[in-house]
Every structure is written in C-alpha cells, then in structure tokens.
Amino acid sequence: MRAAVIQLSCQEDVSHNLARAGSLADEAAAGGATLIVLPENFAFMGDEADKRRIAERLDGGGPIVSWLAALAARTRAFVIGGGMPEQSADPARPYNTSVLMGPDGRIAGAYRKLHLFDIDLPDGSQAYRESRSTCAGDEASVVAAGDMRLGMTVCYDLRFPELYRRLSADGARVVTVPAAFTLMTGKDHWHALLRARAIENQVFVLAAAQHGKHPGGRQTYGKSLIVDAWGDVIAQASDGEGYAIATLDFAAQDRVRAALPCLQHRRF
C-alpha cells in the first residue's frame, strides 16, 4: 500500500483550505497513494465561534463531509479527514472528529478525539483549553481500510500510550495521527513520541500535521511523517505545505513482529 500524509497551513477560509488540501491529495494519488491522511483542522483553523458555526453531522451531507466524499471518490483512495468539527449534543462544544472516507465516497469509519488539549505551554507563551470548546469522545476506533486494519487517533492522543496499545490489541497494523502540534512541544517531542508508538506496537504510524502560523497567534511544528514498525522514519515532509509518501510493506512488518514477538509477551 502506498500512503501519503498531507501537510497544510490552514487559516480561517474553509474553501481555500479545502482547495489546497485537495490539490495536494491529487498529487499524492498521482504518485500512487491509496491511503491519504489530512491533518487535524484540515478545513478550518480560527475562532471557536466560527468552528461551532461550521460543525456538521456526519450523516447530514454538509459541505466538509461532502467534499471528503468527493475527494475519496476522485482519487480512488481511502482518505482520513484528520479532524473536523462534528455536531454533538452540546451546541457550544462540537466533537473533534477524524473521518475515514472510502474510495466509494462512503464513510468507512470515524473517531472522536478522546484526549483534549488543556495545557499551559512550558515557556508561558500560550494556554490552550480545548475542553471549553470541544466535546471529548469515549471510544477507541479500529476500522477496516480494504484488507488492512487501521487505528485512528488525533494529535494530543499521542501522549497516551495505553490508547495505542488498545488499538494494536484490536488488530491495527497502521495508526493515523492527524495533528496540529505546537511548535514549542513539537520540536522536542514529535519525532520521539511517534517513533515510540510505532516501536511499542510494531505498527506503521502516519502523522499528518499542520505547519506554520495560524489565527490567534498559534504556531504549529509540521514535520509530517511516516514511521515503520521498526521505528524508522521512512518519509517526511519539508517545511511549508506539501506531503510525504511511502510504501507500507506489510511483509516487512510481519518479519519485525516475528523476529521480536513482544506483542505476544504482553502481561497486561
């Protein structure tokens, strides 16, 4: 399987963000990608009031979901819409939902972000309170993408290894990590955490990230990448918008799991 992770620098203009994402996804598909991962907030990064306004139902035929369906059908690929506002029971707090769209243009799976980013940055430059404007999900998600089992996570989930162990135990061979990692934390932790999750669970990790400056003074790290089951980074995007693409060799993954059968040695 060829997989690609798309790197964006999203702002408040939904139409512009989707157009840019679609253009890069088309390029990745032309390069053979049949699994394409978009970053968290791929449609919108901006004021929370506007995020609530554009929140959609997944089954409601809204503009973002309809765009994802058209993109997947056009590229004939599985497309991960990394994180979009989905309506919840609380109108003020939509879910942050990652959607897997199949090449038939139908939703093949979805995951609502479990761990919400409530943190003061160590340098004191900024504070985030995602829980004020976002409703947390309550279930892990492993779904079928063709013959392959895929685990879905979003951004801050990366710091909770127990989630990834659950996904591995449920049969995931690939885990997606759409993200908007801060510059401050990303420069020290992004690569280390992604490689650790891949090594611990002997999975491919596909991490699609936001990069650059966004409304409200937010700045993200980028470095979208693909990690194999041994923990090697096999593809990485440069700074700015773009994508990284690589072939996922599942036979090689099987050899890693056979040579170092730690998944069979688990006690908990």
Q: Are strands 78-86 and 95-101 parallel, antiparallel or unpaired?
A: antiparallel
Q: What is the mean pLDDT of the chain?
A: 96
pLDDT given for residue 256 in this prediction? 98
pLDDT given for residue 119 in this prediction? 80
80 CA to centre of own chain: 7
155 catalytic residue (yes or no): yes
Domains and CATH numbers, the chain: 2-265 (3.60.110.10)
pTM of model > 0.75: yes
Res. 240: pLDDT tops 70: yes
Which of 113, 130, 135, 241 is flagged as catalytic? Answer: 113
**Secondary-structure breakdown of the chain: helix, strand, coil percentages, each rounded to the nearest 5:** 35, 30, 35
40 catalytic residue (yes or no): yes
Could you tell me what percent of the chain has a pLDDT over 90? 90
The angle, 0 to 180 degrees and rounded to 10, between the axes of the packed helices 14-30 and 63-75 is 10
Take residue 220 and report the two structure tokens written for it: 């993200």
Q: Which residues pair with 97 in a beta bridge?
A: 84, 112
Which of 51, 155, 223, 241 is flagged as catalytic? Answer: 155
Distance CA 85, CA 135 (A): 10
Which of 40, 56, 130, 241 is flagged as catalytic? Answer: 40
pLDDT in tens, 16-53: 999 999 999 999 999 999 999 999 999 999 988 899 99
pLDDT given for residue 49 in this prediction? 87
pLDDT in tens, 124-141: 667 788 888 999 999 999
